[in-house]
Amino acid sequence: MECQRCLTGKEAKYRVYTDLIDMKVCEACADEARRLGIAVEVLDREKKKQRNGLRQLLFPLEHAAGKLHRFTHSCHQKAQRMLGDVHSSQ
């Protein structure tokens, strides 16, 4: 099967997917997808997908949750600093 993204006729060895896209792509396109933070799955593992499907689905979610945690944590620190400025009598 050929890459569905770059149309150079390279063999599609990976599957990239988000809520919006789900396509089979070549190695170069898979690398680009990884850089963009898109989930990439090796097509050879397709046979084991039933068993690993949940883990593969959960990983990007866990990743996003980690980012969100850091984001909210830094907001929390910023809020504490602002409060500290207000109550600077300490």
Q: Which residues make up the interface to Zn ion (CB under 5 A)?
A: 3, 5-6, 25-26, 29
Minimum gap (Å) between residue 11 Cβ and Zn ion: 9
- For Zn ion, which is the closer residue by CB, 9 or 55? 9
- For Zn ion, which is the closer residue by CB, 24 or 63? 24
- For Zn ion, which is the closer residue by CB, 26 or 40? 26
Which of 17, 21, 24, 19 is CA-nearest to residue 43?
24
11 CB-near residues (< 8 Å, 6+ apart): 1, 2, 3, 26
Are the beta carbons of 23 and 15 closer than 8 angstroms? Answer: yes
Minimum gap (Å) between residue 38 Cβ and Zn ion: 13
Give strand ranges (E) for 1-90.
Answer: 14-17, 22-25, 39-42
Minimum gap (Å) between residue 29 Cβ and Zn ion: 3
Which of 37, 42, 45 is CA-nearest to residue 18?
37
- For Zn ion, which is the closer residue by CB, 32 or 60? 32
Minimum gap (Å) between residue 3 Cβ and Zn ion: 3
